Amino acid sequence: MSFEVVASSRIEERQIAPWRHALQTGVQFGFLGIFLTVVGILGMFNKRPIIVGELTLGYATLGLIFVLAGVLVARRRLFATPTQTIVAGLAAGAVGAVVFALLPTVMSFINLRSVFVSLDNNIYKMLTFGFPPAMGIGLLLCLGAILGFLGALLMELPESLRRPIAGGLIAAGLAGLFQELIRPILANSTTTKPIHDLLYTWTGMTLRGAIIIFGLVAAGIVLWRMNRKRILSNFNQLTPIAQYRIRWGFIAAAIVLATLFPIYAGNFIGQVLLTVGLFTLMGMGLNLEVGIAGLLDLGFVAFYAVGAYVTGLLMADSPFALAHLSFWEAMPIAVLCSVIMGIIFGIPVLKVRGDYLAVATMGLGEIVRVIVLSDAAAPLLGGAKGVLQIPRPEIGNIHLNNPVYLFYLTLVASLVAAYAAWRLEESRLGRAWKAIRDDEDVAQALGINLIQVKLLAYGLGAAFAGLAGSIFAVMLGSIYPHSFQLIISINILALIIVGGMGSLPGVALGAIVLIGLPEMLREFGEFRYLFYGLAIVAVMRLKPEGLWPSASKRRELRIDAETLAVQQGTAAPTQKTA
């Protein structure tokens, strides 16, 4: 999959009048606010406090809309002076507020709830701040102009001020957003209980806590910027062995903290991390196919299902069981069956490329799901009833019967799989995959066996999914066909795109962003896929290489951007002089 078109959009900026751009930005963000209100997102957000008694997520989102209008106007650098830029940000915020104010104005005359059920009296009170209509709408207009002004002013500040302020605000916002996660962890330990009492009450984060978090993070950023050059200079003066030890010391510390965190966080966080680990495993498998070999596979969930069903049939205490093996005996068989399924899966699509390959693999994945649900396979696979009574794994006398234990199992499996994926990428086979990703015809002309290389990509990618499916089966203790929908494949592909194609750390980061964070905000679950779409569009527009791209993808995008700039005459080609 290529992102050159998205990357080139950074170069091909449309030549428009600066003030026209400011007004258009304000109008767009105003309609964005109306959309979020009409579909019910703003009203639902307003029920979640950020600062108890002071600020809700709904008002924070509304304010962020106007701030972003000013930020984007200033970010384009279309104006000659900072004063003009700040005034343009104010204008964009004011225009956005005017557009958004149309909604409460219409609601004050017409009852729109018969058409839009989310536009009730509570949302009307929120939009008018509890004041009479004229006063509330006037306050909304003033707020939009002020926040747009502040957004543009923030972008015009020196970087030494902008970064600490932005970092502190983001940290305070996240501490309030995820307070239901943070508060129990701090309150359950006598060591951290004073910190909890300083920042939070039993109902949420206090204004004092928000100010303290803002101040600490901002001060930390300032101190780092003041000492960064000296620290890096001292680090570069160390011997390579010392640098190597320091790097791995930080990595080891991060691993230890990640390992111990679920013990203190409890079963809920353990379950969330377990889910993230399973999607990371599957993401590493699909990354071999899509990110490295360039084989777009939308039927990847079929391998996940094979691993789960084989494990269930070999372990379950039910009439459908083929044997009564332990997890450690059943899991390798499940992985092997997934590899075989991957090879069989790849044979019909060997000659298919591009978008047609995506459609073909999606069809093959749906065939597997339909077969599992069919009456013909019901005597073996249980049909819609699934396979029940799958026991949990055991290590000696230790029963892995809670999410925290299973998370550690998944963590070990993910580390082993990550090492295998890294070695595969750097191997001769990995270079062959990259060659067919770039151009199959040229790769074949160079002597690469396309059939062998493609089938290995499908088979080895399926092994990761089979391992994840095996752990999934013992996690639930039962398997149902409806657990393996097409949307699973789409989710895995989405996390690879957001994290970074071809990047193993990017896969883990994408799983945390698209799987972990929504799990901790379950009350907004009905808008989950809307947020998915917005996140993917934002990443494709602002960071097309992904949140943690691979080094090769960075080089490709930089070369593409430089080439396009040279072709358009906006930049001069760099040449080495003798």
The first and second tokens of residue 513, run together, are 């962003």
Confidence of residue 567 (pLDDT cuts 50, 70, 90): low
Taking the C-alpha atoms of residue 451 and residue 444, their distance in angstroms, rounded to an integer, is 10
User: Is residue 265 in some structural domain?
Assistant: no
Cβ atoms 70, 150 nearer than 8 A: yes
Q: Which residue has the tokens 């200079």?
A: 233
Q: What's phi and psi for 394, nearest 5 deg? A: -135, 145
Q: Based on the structure, what is the number of domains in the chain?
A: 2
Confidence of residue 481 (pLDDT cuts 50, 70, 90): confident
Whether the pLDDT of residue 571 is over 70: the answer is: no
Whether the pLDDT of residue 269 is over 90: the answer is: no
User: Is residue 361 in some structural domain?
Assistant: yes
Q: What is the tens place of the pLDDT at every residue in 485-511?
A: 888 988 899 889 888 888 888 898 889
**200-201 and 55-56: which strand pairing?**
unpaired
Confidence of residue 551 (pLDDT cuts 50, 70, 90): confident
Single-letter amino acid, residue 111: N
Q: What's phi and psi for 200, nearest 5 deg? A: -130, 160
Out of 323-337, 444-458, 526-540, 561-575, pick the least confident: 561-575
E strands present in 261-325: none
Q: Which domain holds residue 137?
A: 4-233
Domain end among 233, 258, 286: 233
DSSP H/E element including 437 = helix 428-438
Q: Which range has highest mean pLDDT (311-315, 384-388, 555-559)? A: 311-315
Q: What is the pLDDT of residue 487?
A: 87
Instruction: Tell me the residue length of the chain.
Output: 578
Domain match, 59 and 154 both: yes
User: DSSP class of residue 387?
Assistant: B
Domain match, 228 and 295 both: no
Q: What is the pLDDT of residue 232?
A: 87
3-state secondary structure of 395: strand
Could you tell me which of 550, 253, 277 has the C-alpha nearest to residue 416? 277
Whether the pLDDT of residue 337 is over 90: the answer is: yes
Return the higher-pLDDT residue of 4 and 451: 451
Domain match, 352 and 438 both: yes
Out of 54-63, 432-441, 477-486, 564-573, pick the least confident: 564-573
Q: What is the pLDDT of residue 575?
A: 43
Return the higher-pLDDT residue of 543 and 28: 28
Domain match, 201 and 291 both: no
Q: What is the pLDDT of residue 244?
A: 86
Q: What is the pLDDT of residue 8?
A: 45
Confidence of residue 577 (pLDDT cuts 50, 70, 90): very low
Cβ neighbour number for residue 501 with a 10 Å cutoff: 26
Return the higher-pLDDT residue of 472 and 525: 472
Whether the pLDDT of residue 123 is over 60: the answer is: yes
Q: What is the pLDDT of residue 4?
A: 45
Confidence of residue 334 (pLDDT cuts 50, 70, 90): very high
Q: What is the pLDDT of residue 572?
A: 45
Q: What is the pLDDT of residue 259?
A: 79
Cβ neighbour number for residue 59 with a 10 Å cutoff: 17
Taking the C-alpha atoms of residue 333 and residue 326, their distance in angstroms, rounded to an integer, is 11
Taking the C-alpha atoms of residue 330 and residue 261, their distance in angstroms, rounded to an integer, is 30
The first and second tokens of residue 522, run together, are 């379950």
Confidence of residue 561 (pLDDT cuts 50, 70, 90): low
Largest Cα–Cα separation, the chain: 79
Out of 12-21, 68-77, 122-131, 524-533, pick the least confident: 12-21
Q: What is the pLDDT of residue 518?
A: 79
Out of 433-447, 474-488, 530-544, pick the least confident: 530-544
Domain match, 187 and 327 both: no
Whether the pLDDT of residue 54 is over 50: the answer is: yes
Whether the pLDDT of residue 12 is over 50: the answer is: no
Domain match, 156 and 295 both: no
Cβ atoms 66, 5 nearer than 8 A: no
Confidence of residue 53 (pLDDT cuts 50, 70, 90): confident
Domain end among 217, 233, 249: 233
Q: What is the tens place of the pLDDT at every residue in 206-218?
A: 999 999 999 999 9
Confidence of residue 235 (pLDDT cuts 50, 70, 90): confident
Confidence of residue 358 (pLDDT cuts 50, 70, 90): confident
Domain end among 464, 485, 506: 485
Whether the pLDDT of residue 289 is over 50: the answer is: yes
User: Is residue 45 in some structural domain?
Assistant: yes
User: Is residue 543 in some structural domain?
Assistant: no
Domain match, 281 and 429 both: yes
Q: What is the tens place of the pLDDT at every residue in 305-325?
A: 999 999 999 988 877 778 888
- The reported pTM is 0.82
Taking the C-alpha atoms of residue 229 and residue 121, their distance in angstroms, rounded to an integer, is 55
User: Is residue 576 in some structural domain?
Assistant: no
Cβ atoms 574, 565 nearer than 8 A: no
Q: What's phi and psi for 131, nearest 5 deg? A: -95, 170
User: Is residue 249 in some structural domain?
Assistant: no
Q: What is the pLDDT of residue 6?
A: 44
Taking the C-alpha atoms of residue 471 and residue 541, their distance in angstroms, rounded to an integer, is 36
Cβ atoms 39, 334 nearer than 8 A: no
Confidence of residue 565 (pLDDT cuts 50, 70, 90): low
Cβ atoms 113, 124 nearer than 8 A: no
User: Is residue 535 in some structural domain?
Assistant: no
Domain match, 221 and 79 both: yes
DSSP result, 474-543: HHHS-B-GGGS-HHHHHHHHHHHHHH-TT-HHHHHHHHIIIIIHHHHTGGGGGGHHHHHHHHHHHHHHH-
Domain match, 175 and 54 both: yes
Domain match, 320 and 382 both: yes
Q: What is the pLDDT of residue 163?
A: 93
Whether the pLDDT of residue 27 is over 90: the answer is: yes
User: Is residue 558 in some structural domain?
Assistant: no
Q: What's phi and psi for 334, nearest 5 deg? A: -65, -40
Domain match, 17 and 121 both: yes
Angle between helices 267-286 and 486-499 (to 10 degrees): 80
Q: What is the mean pLDDT of the segment spanning 23-49? A: 92
Could you tell me which of 209, 192, 191 has the C-alpha nearest to residue 200? 209
The first and second tokens of residue 313, run together, are 């049939």
Mean of the per-residue pLDDT values of the chain: 86
Write the Ramachandran bin of 354: left for phi over 0, alpha for psi from -120 to 50, otherwise beta: left
Q: What is the tens place of the pLDDT at every residue in 131-143?
A: 998 999 999 999 9
Domain match, 285 and 219 both: no
Q: What is the pLDDT of residue 10?
A: 44
Q: Burial of 498 by CB count in 10 Å (0-12 exposed, 13-18 middle, 19+ buried)?
A: buried
Q: What is the tens place of the pLDDT at every residue in 157-175?
A: 999 999 999 999 999 999 9
Out of 302-311, 342-351, 441-450, 531-540, pick the least confident: 531-540
Q: What is the tens place of the pLDDT at every residue in 62-79?
A: 999 999 999 999 988 888
